[in-house]
Amino acid sequence: MAVQKKFALGRGLDALISNDEVKTSGSSSINEIELSKISVNPNQPRREFDPIALQELADSIAEIGIIQPITLRQMSEDSYQIIAGERRYRASILAGLQSIPAYIRTANDEHVMEMALIENIQREDLNSLEIALAYQHLIEQYDLTQERLSERVGKKRATIANYIRLLKLPAPIQMALKNKEIDMGHARALLALDDPKAQIRIFNEIITQGYSVRKVEEIVKSLSAGETIESGGKKISPKGCKLSEEYTLLQDHLCNFFGTKVQLSCSPKGKGKISIPFDNETDLERIMEILDSLKSTE
């Protein structure tokens, strides 16, 4: 039997999840809708549902019922499409329900995915890559600027830009982000590198060495400065870091002068670093004596 309560569904998350009865202009209502009449939204940003968590929700629904109605839009007299609440819909089917309480909202196509996105983001149900794809979809499908989209979904433009930039990463990194093998912080650090090959190599080191976000940021900073870094016994050099003939001669001169394999790195912008390695304290003292002798000749 339909429940004849009226709910106002205003802009934003509160409109999608509020349980308080309020005055309405008649643009929405709450009813008990048969599950067989409901279809999922093909543009739903959320693509994966944890089967264990879904079953736990189904068990809870079977015991105490649906606490939070889902949000639907009416497609025809006997069909509805989900705006928000696909997880509750799926769990209700698993629980053996025949119908589910739902807000029935009037919404045009342009607002459906936006509303689903807002609800899922606020509930933190989406992974960062799903959010990025959803933002990109909204921008492309409805010809929105990032600024306009930020107003529509209530997020800062910089936040939206950071998510969308994730889509520029190589596919293996995007998949790892989707599968939560790395954090968004790892991915954002890798974006500072212009070379996809370097991104992949550092990504592999993140997986094998278990690097923290801070560690990756340090590695990327070094590579960006033109330095060669060592990780897991491997040397990783920045793109275009091959020394010119002039710098190679200078490096050889320094190696001969200090009697050790001096490392010299230089970025395309001319910023670089000289590294003088030593084998032990005695070797360090020898190098310091050389430097002291240079100072004494000034």
Which pairing describes strands 234-236 and 229-231: parallel, antiparallel, or unpaired? Answer: antiparallel
86 is catalytic: yes
Q: Of 21, 34, 77, 86, which one is the catalytic site residue? A: 86
DSSP three-state, residue 82 = strand
Tokens 């950071």 belong to which residue?
162
C-alpha span between 226 and 140 (Å, rounded): 37
- Strand 99-105, strand 28-34: pairing: antiparallel
Length in residues, the chain: 298
Strand 79-84 to 38-39 pairing: parallel
Helix/strand/coil (H/E/C) assignment for every residue in 222-255: HHHCCCCEEECCEEECCCCCCCCHHHHHHHHHHH
Instruction: Count other C-beta atoms under 10 Å from residue 199's C-beta.
Output: 22
CA distance 103 to 5: 10
Residues annotated catalytic, as ranges: 86
